Amino acid sequence: MNTVSDINALRAQVKEWHLKGLKVGFVPTMGNLHAGHISLVTEAKKHADKIVASIFVNPMQFGANEDIGSYPRTLTDDKEKLIAEGTDLLFTPTPEIIYPKGLDKQSFVDVPNVSEGYCGESRPGHFRGVATIVCKLFNLVQPDIACFGLKDYQQVQVIQAMVEDLSMPVEIIPVATCREESGLAMSSRNNYLTSEEKAIAPALHQSMQWLSDKIQTSTDFIGLAKQAASKIDEAGMKTDYIHICNARSLQPASEDDTDLVILAAAHCGKARLIDNLQVTLSK
Ligand code: PAF
């Protein structure tokens, strides 16, 4: 696996592959890779001949109250994992390469509707940062396909909307969430959990499963979501939000919707955990 930070080197390699008629798959990450990230590479290999991964801790998607400095950086381990999975090229740009004018003079991409609410409300500016960096990385890498984890369900909807709205020639492939045996969704943020917190964190997923069962037979979406929030709080976490939404528009679910998603976020010690569960109602 070749590792490059330089944009010209990245473009030269991808151009060579495209000239040979090879399909290029892309897995953008912020590093600190776990099995969930590696499953994105595995999936990308099913759809493409050459795989590019990127590691860039994107300052634009962190809020003023979020400490980008303490985001875990584990490049040596990350490289080993990417090599073991057969990644062909790793792009590791610096913030100066990505945002040479500085963040406040940088153009940005705002995706309406699906960016609003839930994590968009709890983390103002977050999805602008995500859409802008993903747009920029797509322009740099020019992949044919790109894989994103469904653990960040709202992020996948934002990226899909951006690609559609701006006619980007990239196919987005959503990949199922990888979970610990306890049901806890894999996330770099789990590293912040103490062993006691790791024991209570699975209650987030369990409460969502409870909610998923309940909505099979009741349309009291708001009341049931409140009860699920109490379960999360009683387990020792602090619910940020838990909502039952239309799986496409992310609007609050109506009684006629059948394709739903439960979106939730909760604070567990220092970590803010997010999770989601897609639910199909048979009517
Ligand atoms: O999901 C992530 O790790 C990030 O939001 C992404 C898509 C790599 C953009 O920085």
Q: What are the boundaries of each domain within the chain?
A: 2-175, 188-276
The reported pLDDT for the residue numbered 81 is 98
Q: Does the pLDDT value for residue 200 go beyond 90?
A: yes
Q: Compute the distance from residue 252 Cα to the ligand 1 centre, in Å.
A: 25
Question: Annotated catalytic, 37?
Answer: yes
Annotated catalytic residue: which of 37, 126, 205, 243?
A: 37
**Sorting pLDDT into bands at 50, 70 and 90, what band is 49?**
very high
Pocket of ligand 1 (CB under 6 A): 28-30, 58, 61, 130, 133-134, 152, 155
pLDDT one-digit tens code per residue, 215-255 = 999 999 999 999 999 999 999 999 999 999 999 999 999 99
150-195 per-position pLDDT tens digit: 999 999 999 999 999 999 999 999 999 999 999 999 999 999 999 9
Per-residue pLDDT tens digits for 68-106: 998 999 999 999 999 999 999 999 999 999 999 999 999
pLDDT at residue 250, rounded to an integer: 98
Interior/surface letters 195-219, b for 16+ CB within 10 angstroms, e for the rest: eebbebbbbbbbbbeebbebbeeee
Rg for the chain (alpha carbons), in Å? Answer: 19
What kind of fold does domain 188-276 have according to CATH? Pantoate--beta-alanine Ligase; Chain: A,domain 2 (3.30.1300)
**pLDDT at site 130:** 98
Q: What is the pLDDT of residue 54?
A: 99
Give the per-residue pLDDT at 282: 85
Instruction: Tell me, in angstroms, the distance from the centre of ligand 1 to residue 213's CA.
Output: 31
For domain 2-175, give the CATH number: 3.40.50.620
Q: Could you give the dihedral angle defined by the CA atoms of residues 33, 103, 125 and 30, in that order, rounded to the nearest 10 degrees?
A: 0
pLDDT at 67: 86
Q: What is the pLDDT of residues 103-154, one digit of tens each?
A: 999 999 999 999 999 999 999 999 999 999 999 999 999 999 999 999 999 9
Q: What are the tokens at 206?
A: 């369990």
In this predicted structure, the answer to whether residue 283 has a pLDDT above a threshold of 80 is no
**What is d(CA 82, CA 77) in angstroms, rounded to the nearest whole number?**
9
Which atom of ligand 1 lies nearest, measured to the CA of 30? 3
Among 130, 153, 159, 162, residue to substitute to test ligand 1 (most atoms within 8 Å of Cβ): 130
Spatial distance between the Cα atoms of 77 and 187, rounded to a whole number of angstroms: 16
pLDDT of residue 224: 98
**Which one, of 175, 172, 170, 131, lies nearest residue 152 by Cα?**
175
8-state DSSP, 244: E
